[in-house]
Amino acid sequence: MSFDVSRKEAQQPAPPSTGHNGNAVAVLPSMSTVTANRLRLNPNTEHKPENYEGLQLEFSPLLFSSLERYLPPPMLSLPRDSKLHYMRDIILRYSPDGERIRVQRHREYRQKIISHYQPLHRELYTMHASNFFAPSFLKAINENKEEGFRSIMAEPTLGVFTFEMFQPRFCELLLSEVENFEKWVHETKFRIMRPNTMNKFGAVLDDFGLETMLGKLMEDFIRPISKVFFSDVGGSTLDSHHGFVVEYGIDRDVELGFHVDDSEVTLNVCLGKQFSGGDLFFRGVRCDKHVNTETQSDEILDYSHVPGRAVLHRGRHRHGARATTSGQRFNLLLWCRSGYLHPWRMVQHDTQITFGLS
């Protein structure tokens, strides 16, 4: 099996019948050298990790504290230095030079775009909440209370929340910016990376300068809601994101198969334009082991997109998109991730590397 939490590989289809999910979570335990002492699949939340602050380490002390919760039970009682040595070995083993080079190239790729692309609507590149958001959404965020969130939301199936989020003007500007970027790509024949392996069209917003604004969007607007509704998957510790726009239509991506996202929490907002079809379908949340199990009747939801309206759900909530049968549909996606919950993501975040197992 190969695994890569990088963005280009991130969105994973839920395979139909093998009972095996190629997605991220069950990866670290497959290391051959520790077969007898496998890391845990889930963290031991009752274990209080050592304090690794103040040591000369190549990686964040918090990474070691988080990873310690995944250690095999017999190792937990070992001295701190032994655990540290073991965990450092794991981290270094899965940070091969090839990955470092890949990440360095991605950094250069992004720099190249940013130094040549001229943004059309500069007001999008910094957060202007009162210009971006619907007043009802802004009010609920400012109050920061569960009842306030619930008052603006529908929850048509457990764990899928929908609410009016963006002003029409924001949607128009963002669409126009994406089209301007696509035009630049076409004119300069720049070879861009698409958002993930399942979408052949669309653009990564973080790659052309919107990373800071989207980071703010996640921290100040999505994390407070996720803290209330998705605390079980690290909703209160979301600390990185992957932001992109997807494009659907007859001459674009038409539909999206059944899959789970490489995120703790996914924000999906329709930006327009005119289209028919393209419903999102949801079929319940599953752990890695049971990702292909049958759907219960109360887990079935088919949702029709409304421009400006957001859908917020756990990344592991199984879903897909039906065919967009006419017109063009653009959606903003923000995959929100928690490095605290997934130490291997934190490695990626801290050192700009990804793991690759075989």
Q: Are 181 and 227 in contact (CB under 8 A)?
A: no
CB of 319 to Fe ion, least distance (A): 6
Residues 71-130 that bind Fe ion (CB under 5 A): none
Q: Of 8 and 88, which CB lies nearer to Fe ion in the complex structure? A: 8
Dump the DSSP string for 194-238.
PSBTTBSS-EEGGGGT-HHHHHHHIIIIIHHHHHHH-GGGTGGG-
Among residues 220, 219, 185, which one has the least CA distance to residue 201?
185
Q: Of 280 and 346, which CB lies nearer to Fe ion in the complex structure? A: 280
Instruction: Choose the stretch contacting Fe ion; rule: CB under 5 A; options: 73-81, 158-166, 260-268, 303-311.
Output: 260-268
CA dist 36 and 55 (Å) reads 29
**Which conformational region is residue 169 in: left (phi greater than 0), alpha (psi within -120 to 50 degrees), or beta?**
alpha
- Residue from the set 206, 207, 261, 264 that interacts with Fe ion by CB under 5 A: 261
Q: Are 235 and 222 in contact (CB under 8 A)?
A: no
CB of 268 to Fe ion, least distance (A): 7
Q: Are 202 and 245 in contact (CB under 8 A)?
A: yes
Q: Which backbone phi and psi does 163 adopt, to 5 degrees?
A: -165, 155
CB of 233 to Fe ion, least distance (A): 15
For Fe ion, how many residues bind (rule: CB under 5 A)? Answer: 1
CB of 17 to Fe ion, least distance (A): 20
Instruction: Choose the stretch contacting Fe ion; rule: CB under 5 A; options: 30-38, 81-89, 218-226, 256-264.
Output: 256-264
Instruction: Choose the stretch contacting Fe ion; rule: CB under 5 A; options: 25-33, 39-47, 253-261, 350-358.
Output: 253-261
Burial of 327 (0-12, 13-18, 19+ CB in 10 A): middle
3-state helix, strand, coil in the chain (%, to 5): 40, 25, 35
| Strand (E) or helix (H) holding 137 | helix 135-143
Instruction: Choose the stretch contacting Fe ion; rule: CB under 5 A; options: 50-58, 76-84, 178-186, 261-269.
Output: 261-269
CB of 10 to Fe ion, least distance (A): 10
Q: Of 4 and 261, which CB lies nearer to Fe ion in the complex structure? A: 261
Cβ–Cβ contacts within 10 Å for residue 335, how many?
25
CB of 39 to Fe ion, least distance (A): 27
Instruction: Choose the stretch contacting Fe ion; rule: CB under 5 A; options: 89-97, 119-127, 205-213, 254-262.
Output: 254-262
Among residues 134, 196, 198, which one has the least CA distance to residue 165?
134
- Residue 57 pairs in a beta bridge with none
**247 binding Fe ion? (CB under 5 A):** no
CB of 253 to Fe ion, least distance (A): 12
CB of 304 to Fe ion, least distance (A): 17
The residue nearest Fe ion at its CB is 261
Site string for Fe ion, 20-39 (x = CB under 5 A): --------------------
The CA radius of gyration of the chain, in Å to the nearest whole number, is 21
CA dist 234 and 145 (Å) reads 18
What is the contact surface with Fe ion in residues (CB under 5 A)?
261
